[in-house]
A = this chain, B = another copy of it.
Amino acid sequence: MNGAERTIDTLLRRGVDTCFTNPGTSEMHFVAALDRTPAMRSVLALFEGVASGAADGYGRIAGRPAVTLLHLGPGMANGLANLHNARRARTPVVNVVGEHAVAHRAFDPPLATDIEGLARPMSGWVGTVTSADGLAATVDAAVDAAVGPPGTVATVIVPADLSWGEAGEELPAAPAAGGRPRGSGSDTTGSGSTGAHGPGHGGAVLQFPATSPMGDVVAALRSGEPTAIVVGGRACNGPLLHRAAQVAAACGATLLAETFPARLARGAGIPAPDRLAYLAELAQLQMAGLRHLVLVDAPTPVSFFAYPGIPSVLVPDGCALHVLAGPADDLGSALDELAIGLGVAADAFAPVAAPARPDRPSGALTAQTVAAAIGAVLPEGAIVSDESNTCGIHIPGATAGCPPHDWLTLTGGAIGQGLPVATGAAIAAPGRRVLCLEADGSAMYTIQSLWTQAREGLDVTTVVLDNHAYGILAFELSRVGAGTPGPIASSMLDLDRPELDFVALATGMGVPACRATSAEELVTVLEKAMAEPGPSLIQVPVPRTL
């Protein structure tokens, strides 16, 4: 068994069975190995940003890592922006990056780069395989690091001669009751970082402060003072969200969610925390008057960007910050302990969203009627990949009472996430409908995703909300005090010259597409798209909202 085969075998033994890739010459032995290993599903992307974003979407839904197979430094570089989003989402992702053969690397051939240096800023763990004997252990350690907690991006660099050469032995089978010891037998150069602040991230001091003593959290929730619980990360869905909602209800605390959750469970019968607003001023309003903020796997609320004269930390003056649990903690135990401390029973009341759908809208397409159309038809079990930005501000409200669904957000702010995440989510959840809400500017970053959706026959319905602009930037330009845009500034923010024809773009990549011209028509084509297998795209012109 050569090194490429051993790599894939080791990944499969750890349950990593989906590979998003755009390989090159240095990865050809992996391609050959994939040929002999049908248990690893291989999905080709036309650009590495699609592969890395798909791995993020897959991991958010499957709860376990996919692997990307990337070509040298440039392939890694092309995947970095969506790996940044994945790292912020604490999604488990394993990257396998080919490197030149060790002896060849010294001659500085044209494609040589510092792959570890490129990987480090967006990875929580980076390791280079340095011997055949150490290969399996290094790959295994990468899976450990990726899974966490916290989940993170782990990058394994495999020189070509170690992928084509005979590999060392497989690792002993994992003990039934738990993981195997990390890095045993490894001669890797890998450096682990299990904290949320990976290497190259030295400035991070506040986002996840240390956990508070339990007594302190209990006292805050018993204080009777205005208090909010902010759920984030793993507390945004399933029993943990429910438990947090029970505690908040029992204590009269407000339940909030972090601004950009990796995966938020929503819909009828599910607790419905208000998400903290992206706009600093609105988030400050949401928290105005609070005396206690209890963070449950959520970061300290800070402004997305800095603005002249606006504070970075949005927690009000006089409000104490309490951290129940952070990304690396046993969240279930912490919530249970808290509930016991507060006397909140396992079957205590938790307020949940009531079933409700907007009426089917009619008339002109506006941000409101588009939101209503989506709320009117969103199917049960849908996965919504939301990169609708300013165009989509009314959609969360319009879908709050829809049948249960999951909502995936732009965790790291690097646009171009929506289409790839939708692609990976669809592969993780066959049988569920994925709805991708895309702003026009963001859609163009990784538009190549549509081809993979067509090739794999994925049940993804993409709605491109087309306001012919980077709407957020026109708004931000005024917020940062940069004045009213003149012709040159406007031309840097507008996308209307020429207009983008997403129907043509989708058709060009094999995805059936149409344009909606009224709210009624949007409802009709949405229903049709959601009912049919395979991908489709609907271009929806909307006026600017901000």
Contacts and interface: CB of A to CB of B under 8 A. Distances in A.
Interface stretch (A55-63, A75-83, A336-344): A75-83
A34 interface: yes
A449 to B, nearest CB: 11
A195 to B, nearest CB: 12
Given A31-B489, A160-B305, A473-B28, A88 B74 contact: no
B84 A203 contact: no
A109 interface: yes
Interface residues on A, range: 35 or more
Contacts of A202: 114
Contact of A306 (B35, B36, B117, B160): B160
Interface string A111-124: 11110011011100
A321 to B, nearest CB: 13
Contacts of A175: none
Contacts of A416: 47, 78
Contacts of A81: 74, 77-78
A181 interface: no
A410 to B, nearest CB: 9
B477 A31 contact: yes
Interface string A20-49: 010111101101101110100010101101
Contact of A451 (B107, B111, B500): B500
Contacts of A200: 113-114, 117
A111 B413 contact: yes
A35 B485 contact: yes
A121 B489 CA distance: 31
B206 A107 contact: yes
A125 interface: no
A113 B121 contact: yes
A47 B117 contact: no
A201 B106 contact: no
B122 A113 contact: yes
B108 A84 contact: no
Given A46-B441, A47-B444, A28 B480 contact: yes
B47 A445 contact: yes
Interface stretch (A97-105, A283-291, A523-531): A97-105
A502 B203 CA distance: 45
A539 to B, nearest CB: 10
A-B pairs, top 3 by smallest CB distance, nearest first, are: A498-B510, A504-B508, A104-B306
Given A38-B488, A46-B441, A74-B414, 18 more contacts: A25-B472, A28-B482, A31-B477, A31-B493, A32-B483, A34-B488, A35-B487, A73-B121, A77-B77, A100-B306, A106-B206, A107-B302, A108-B197, A108-B205, A109-B305, A110-B413, A500-B509, A504-B508
Interface of A: 21, 23-26, 28-29, 31-32, 34-36, 38, 42, 44, 46-47, 49, 73-74, 77-78, 80-81, 84, 88, 100-101, 103-114, 117-118, 120-122, 160-161, 164, 197, 200-207, 260, 299-300, 302-306, 308, 312-313, 411-416, 441, 444-445, 447-448, 451, 454-455, 472-473, 476-477, 479-483, 485-489, 491-493, 495, 497-505, 507-510
